[in-house]
Amino acid sequence: MKRIVIDAPAKINLALDVVGKRDDGYHLLETVFQSISLYDRITISISDETGIKITCNIPYIPCNEKNLAYKAAKIFMEKFGINKGINIQLYKRIPSQAGMGGGSSDAAAVLKGLNSLLGNIFTLPELCTIAVTLGADVPFFLYGGTAYADGIGERLEPLPALKDLNVVAAKGRGGISTPEAYKRIDALKFSVHPDTQALRNAIKAGFPTERLWQYCGNIFEDVTELIDVSDIRNTMLKMGSAFACMSGSGSSVFGIFDSVDAAWKCRNILAKRYPFAVCCKTIS
C-alpha cells in the first residue's frame, strides 16, 4: 500500500477586498495571501480496494462527499481515469469557519499527495486547473508563501516572501458562513476598502514590514457582528500587535508582533478566554 503524509498549512489574508461581482454570482476579489505555520496533517494511502474513505479527529467534520478532501480525491481519480481505493486521514488543527482556508488547504494537499503517489502525472499548472473547480483559493495552497490574487481568487502572482514574522491567530466561539458573509457584502452601501494594490506594490518593492501594515485590512470586518472578533482584535492591539484584523471571510483574527515574547504573552491571555489561540510564523 502506497502512503504519504503531508502538512497542509493555514493562510491569513493580509488584505482582502471585494471589488465586483460577475454575472454568474461569483465575487471579484483582490487579496494578498500569506501561509502560516499552523497545519492540518493529511495521510493518504492507495489500495487495490475501491472507493474513498475519510477519517478525522474532529467528530463534526463531515467524512463524506461534502468534505473538500473527498471532492479533491474524487475529481483527481476521475481525471486520472482509474478506479483505486483511497484512504484519507485528516488530523485537523486549523479551525472551521475561521477564514484560514483549512478545507481548501486539505484539498490541495490531497491533490499534491495523490499526484506524488501516482508518479507526478500532472504538472503544477494542470493541478491548478483541477484545484480551481474545488474552490477559488485552492490553487494558492498548491504554491503557498506570499501571493497576490485577483479574479475570484484564482489568478495568482507570487510575491517576495514575508517569512518568519510572529503571528498570533485566535478564534472565538462563533463562526461565519462564507455565503452569508458575501450576502452581507452585497448589501453594503458604504465600506472601508483596504489598499490591496498599494500593499502588493510595497511588498514587491521590498518595503520594511513596518511600512506594510498601513495598507492591510479586510472588508469583511464591515459586515461582522461577532463581539469576539472585535474583542480579540482590540486585545492584540493593546498587547503590542503592529497590525491585527480578520482573516478571510471567517471569524478568526490574526495579529503581527515584533517579538516572540510579546506574541506568546498575547496568545496566553487569549487562550484563557477563547477555545482557539496559537502562536505561529509566516512561511515561504
The closest of 91, 42, 111, 104 to 247, measured between CA atoms, is 104
In this prediction, the residues of the chain whose per-residue pLDDT falls under 50 are: none
Do the Cβ atoms of 79 and 35 come closer than 8 Å? no
- Please confirm, yes or no, whether 11 is among the known catalytic residues: yes
The pLDDT assigned to 24 comes to: 83
The pLDDT assigned to 9 comes to: 98
Residues of the chain with pLDDT > 70, as a percent, come to: 100
pTM of the model: 0.93
Q: What is the 3-state secondary structure (H, E, C) of the chain?
A: CEEEEEEEEEEEEEEEEEEEECCCCCEEEEEEEEEEEEEEEEEEEEECCCEEEEEECCCCCCCCCCCHHHHHHHHHHHHHCCCCEEEEEEECCCCCCCCCCHHHHHHHHHHHHHHHHCCCCCCHHHHHHHHCCCCCCHHHHHHCCEEEEECCCCEEEECCCCCCCEEEEEECCCCCCHHHHHHHHHHCCCCCCCCHHHHHHHHHCCCCHHHCHHHCEEHHHHHCCCHHHHHHHHHHHHCCCCEEEECCCCCEEEEEECCHHHHHHHHHHHHHHCCEEEEEEECC
| CATH level 2 (architecture), domain 166-281 | 2-Layer Sandwich (3.30)
Third-level CATH fold of 2-158: Ribosomal Protein S5; domain 2 (3.30.230)
Structural domain spans, the chain: 2-158, 166-281
- Cell numbers 475561521 correspond to 98
- Please confirm, yes or no, whether 137 is among the known catalytic residues: yes
pLDDT per position as a tens digit, 15-73: 999 988 888 878 899 999 999 999 999 999 998 888 999 999 999 999 999 999 999 99
- Tell me if 2-158 shares its fold with 166-281: no
Tell me the C-alpha distance between 155 and 140, whole Å.
Answer: 9
Catalytic: which of 17, 40, 106, 137? 137
Do the Cβ atoms of 279 and 168 come closer than 8 Å? yes
